[in-house]
Structure 1
């Protein structure tokens, strides 16, 4: 049975507690700081694991520790971000939950308290992903790469590739098809609310598209089926942007060509390889930039 409750997590009458952490050994804010102060042995094991590069998104660190006030607890350190400076990613949450499910079964955990994963200081919404300027840019990027003549000029960017034209279009749609741009500006990951009252109108528009354009849209959605999180979209678009200019590049070359330190720190090699192989398998579907 799952219960949604509020209160002080460490006081929960459960066998296991989930502690949300980064992978650089710093428990400086939020729930992690509370764990650091209440369970010093757990913090020591966690710091050592980070020094040895043994902790990563999707890899949990379970530690038994005790406290005079809270008793003996099975603490599960759950990475929701790589560095404390960077926001959490939904992809990290998904990978971690898969690992947590296995751990619960393997350890026969009967009760567990889990905080909102990646929310708060992590910057994620408690109930999942949302539409944003970032997501709109990536969809427009790949639609154009599929051959749609959008006349957008995509450039390298902090979260890029990025085209100013996408933002201008969304401002014109604001108030009718979406909300969130009323102030005339928005950050890349700021939530945009879609107006589902216009769903039938949008469906009619898609139905009125010519066969070629509608087929292209469907192919793009199928192409992105397994790359729907913000991080995976950014990795896929970044790798594609590099390969579009240097099709002969190897995975190692692509990693070296990432244009910001943020991308180099955030993108894991296995995720880059996954994007690289996906693009190689679909390169005949992509046009030149």
Structure 2
């Protein structure tokens, strides 16, 4: 599924993140410079490939770490030259042909060839990315430019820690403990209250909001967590059966957990109005329960 997200590429939960490069071995500014700072070993190998004329337009090179892969995608030949739309298409064709054999199951793209590359997003690049990427049966995220999270301004040390961690290992048991703690917390929105009840079959959360009585079961929340943990993002369409009408309420409540936040995203994008609230796993994910356990271990 193709999803547009307004968040930092380096904070993506996807298996693979895409770096746009030239073919002469220079990562001098913008996104590529950030990749160079975070993965100096990758830059050294990339430079050697370029100097040996082994990386060219239409070829893709994957650099693998234990928790993240970086797909280096040539969008220009020389760093002084602009990107060309035919270069973007050549790379996208190669990606479609090879993603499966490379074992890619989810991937995050920047706006290929835009920004420093000089290509027009709406008129040139977006239609091409839609054409090649939307039909693919894997999770694909396109990261829209966000003035609050430019690559040039990221904290390199924090980003390294995030990229080299495995942020999707929390069990639902840990999440449920955090949910129960959040119910008692003053951080809850004043527009609703939450009560835990036990019916004949399972525990439920009862939300009272603007005169509405909304029931969400523990099982539904477990399904939602498994989806969010697996994909990293969740739109209204990703909500379990029966919860679609309560997306705003659910997203607001879950965003009170320390590792979930509300972001803007959409499965279709023509302008900013298409973006709706969704949720994602935050960088540096950790549950309150895990923190307590770690503190206890340190005390020993």
Q: Which bin holds the TM-score, normalised by the shorter protein?
A: 0.3 to 0.5
State the TM-score, normalizing by the size of structure 2.
0.40
Higher share in helix: 1
Higher share in strand: 2
Higher relative contact order (CA 8 A, sep 6+): 2
